[in-house]
Structure 1
Amino acid sequence: MTKEQQEKRLEEATRILAAIGMPRKQQNLRTALVLLSMFNLRPTQEWAEAGSNTLGISACMDWMAEHYPDIPKGKKDPTRYAPNSRESVRKLSVHPLIRAGVIVKNSDAPNRATNDQNNRYHPSDIAINAIAAFGSSTWDERLKEFHSEQPKLIEVNAAERKVHRVPVKLPDGGTVDTADLSPGAHSELIKAVVERFGSQFTPKGTVVYLGDTGSKWIVNEPEYLADLGVVVDPHGKMPDVVIHFADKDWLVLIEAVTSTGPVDDQRMAQLKELFAGARPGLVFVTAFLTRGKFRQFMADIAWETEVWISENETHMVHFNGERFLGPYNSAE
């Protein structure tokens, strides 16, 4: 077997992990190797030859080292993961595959203790049926059969709530054309804020300001804001998106963060000053594209504000105050 054969099989295994709906953090080398070991698929074999291995964690790691020796795994010994990696293999690769219905634990003794040295894992029958068809004309059909019994883990983890979405609008009743935004990650996030955050958390809200990186603004409604008691300082830095949620009479001030600018204590003070005359209560939201980006700024987020993450769009993170998603100058 050649290194190229090993790399090709691993690349295919990673594609399978994505197709069966594994979260992004499990679409990695370690989980791909676990998949190959459990299905006993060597680099020289085709997916149609996928079978069933019954392995403990140590035996699984030994199998990886034996059959995929040219794939770097550890610093001291590139051919294998270090013994202290057992828990990472178990918790971050094997257990998610169990939750996804790809692997079965202890089919001979389901009540075996977690720390029992006799714990063993093997592929589920429905997973073998699907994965053995990878690359064939029946792959899509077999994948549908698998998902008819096993929901995608990425969807299970998201705990998607069923929501009634109502688009946000412009003061004249028209819709917001986010196609006018300049290309790039920041504009992608602003688009998500308007189309997904807005329709869910401020349904039927009115977009009164929408900034852009390429031009000064896409939506700017100073007269509407003036009716709400806001006289915008032309030298003040507006948030990326401002939505008037009339049902609650809130002004939702949203910063879309891809590199800088979360609602920290300083920015919160600036926004309070900028919107000091507002009749509606002020709600402060920082929006991110991913959890990873949120983690970069988590320590900076001001208390009594909200965080929305595009990849987990039906949930928000509440930085503790006396209420959830609401202004703090109102009893409502």
Structure 2
Amino acid sequence: MDKEHQEKKLRESKEILAALGLPPKQQNTRTALVLLSMLNLSPTKPWSDAEAHTLGITECMEWMKNHYPDISKGRKDPTRYAPNTRESVRKGSVNQLVSAGVLFKNSDAPNRATNDKNNRYHPSPIALKAIASFGTSAWEKHLEDFHTEWGRLRDKWAAERAAHLVPVVLPDGTVRSLSPGDHSDLIRDIVESFAPQFTPGGIVVYLGDTGTKWIVEKPEYLAELGVLVDRHGKMPDVVIHFTEKNWLVLVEAVTSTGPMNGIRVDELKKLFEGARSGLVFVTAFQTKKKFRQFAADIAWETEVWVAEEGTHMVHFNGERFLGPYDQNQ
């Protein structure tokens, strides 16, 4: 495969990213290759052959490896991305292209959760029309049309998205909104049903969201409890300070992955190692059917709460019910 053609197409792709309004940080090799993959444009294809190519993140990475194998040589952001760099492609490139109106996400099912393995992306029609004219006399006109039309769509979709957000009423009566999806529905159940039942009077000191993550964040409060929050650490979905018992209740909302298995418990113990409050580990499921799917993975000395049976818990322990296992607590 001709490296010269690969590099030429890459330079043009970066030029297009700049013209479409992507910030300088996203006018990079990785994002340029993601764009090419979603257009199904191999190095020798003209821009007029751009097409709507629907891909998931893994498929996108495989396409880049197969069609632009030489670009990685001598570069810091290679096309041969390992599986553990999948999130970098999604967060650093694909999400930015979605935000810019260049890609559409899940046209068949807009409410799929962020971490759903079935998420798929493809070029928006207005972006595709503009990009296909790159290098012709019609490019400037179609580029202007893209910016005008995307501005109108962005305003419309912002209103529609707000209408589908999941409202969560915190124990203090304030309301926060989460991204739409089953995961957010379960987080709402944890805050509005689990917390009053099992941690009455508790304070939600952290609440995560698949869209923007830090919905509730009280680092000063946690610091008083001996916890210095590492923003790069993988926080549980909900952290509640049960003040009556001085427990920190760490809750994972599981709809597809991530129960409190032994590895996850060890991670959280390290993340909260300075806590002066007892640590309680809880896995929350929406249904008993989902709980059965993960039952074999649940760690001992943790708890399970199922939203559809909200007044009961399952205790994976031997000597006590809900509570920390530090002998001093």
**Rg larger in structure:** 1
**TM-score, normalised with respect to structure 1:** 0.47
**TM-score, normalised with respect to structure 2:** 0.48
